[in-house]
Structures are given as C-alpha cells and as structure tokens.
Structure 1
C-alpha cells in the first residue's frame, strides 16, 4: 500500500510539472443570424461553444466564448539512454515509444516525460 501511495504521489507531482505545448486562437465567431454560437478553427471548420475535439495532429482543442485553445495530447520522452535508444512517434496512438535502436521490439526505460 505504501508503494502504491508513493507512486501516486510521484505521478501527481509529475503531471503538475508537465510542460504541454499549447496555443490560443482569439474568437473568430460562427454566427446563426445575430447569435454567436461557436468558433472557427485554423482550417475554417466551425465548432460550437463548450465543445472539445482531437485533431489528426494529436492536439486536444476546445471552443469557448473567448476563442479556441489547443494543447498537445501526448508527452515527450526527455530522459532516457539516447545512445542505446530512440523515441518514435506513433501518429495513430498520439504517443511516443522509446525502443532500442538495434531492436525496435525492445522498449527502453524513460525517466522523465514532458507534456
């Protein structure tokens, strides 16, 4: 039980210290008559207020009455053996895998993740 609590504490601290990459787009209003009902994203797609979506570029976005905010939906490995291992991004899973350079079927230990 102590080990579980220690792991939970480490996880909660690491999540709060993460450094996700985010951006904000000011409101480009979607109108229905005189009523503003949502936002247009960078591709010109309309989104209603208080909606959330994930892009094909692995961003999690939301529309509010002030605009659209998007953040990366994945963490980046930053502390692993770079001589022996390589990080590979899986676009389908929106996640990095850290594997041995010589044998991609073997995973490597990662000590820190950012994002």
Structure 2
C-alpha cells in the first residue's frame, strides 16, 4: 500500500513539474482608481489572493497579476516510457499514465 501512495505522489509531482502555465501582468491604468483584483478571459473579476479552477487550470490572483497553470502536463515536455501513454480526462480534470497495451493498468513514470 505504501508503494502505491509513493507512486501517486510522484505522478502528481510529475504532472505539476510539466504543466503549462501562463501569467498576465496586472496593469494599472488609473492610479487614483487601482484595480481591486484580476480579470479573467471571460471578464469576471477575482479578488487578490483568490484561487479558482477554470477549464482545468488552477488560477491565482495576486497584486502582480493573474497566474494559471494547466492541471495536465504539456505533451511536448513529457518524456514517457515507450510502453506508456498519457490519458487525459477533461471532465474530471485529471491525467494518468497507462500502458499502451492495456489502458486499465497504470504505468510508472520512473
């Protein structure tokens, strides 16, 4: 059971280390009326210090700007073993490595 927990933790770190992130710097247009938060691509305002998930991205608003990171690894940055493939579930916002020959069996990133 302990090795399964280690594998899950390693896979989580693997995904985080290879995630695609973006940063939108906060621009102050009027010094007398500074922004009260970040505005996402849908035009919704989020308060400084707030966190949310949108389109399978973890987003965070700071006084410096809006930062979003995909919950999925960037496919170009992932070095998968030959016998493995990455399966992405965009509904559940999750990804896992499985054996190409049997997609019901998970594959170790090591």
TM range (shorter): 0.5 to 0.7
CA offsets per residue over residues 20-77 of structure 1, 9 Å max, x none?
3211101156x9x935311111221111111000112x11111111110111223466
**Which structure would you say has the larger RCO, counting Cα contacts within 8 Å and 6 or more residues apart?**
2
Query: Is there any run of 5+ residues in structure 2 with no aligned partner, and where?
Result: none
| Structure having the higher Rg | 1
Query: Is there any run of 5+ residues in structure 1 with no aligned partner, and where?
Result: none
Backbone CA RMSD of aligned residues: 3.4
Superposition pairs for residues 9-88 of structure 1, below 5 Å? 11=10, 18-28=17-27, 34=33, 36-56=35-55, 58-75=56-73, 78-82=79-83, 85-88=84-87
Q: Which protein has the bigger helix share?
A: 2
TM-score (norm 2): 0.63
Q: Indicate how the Cα distance of structure 1 residues 101 and 20 shifts in structure 2: closer, same or farther if over 3 A, else same.
A: closer
Aligned residue-pair number: 98
TM-score (norm 1): 0.61
Runs (4+) of structure 1 moved beyond 4 Å?
Answer: 100-103
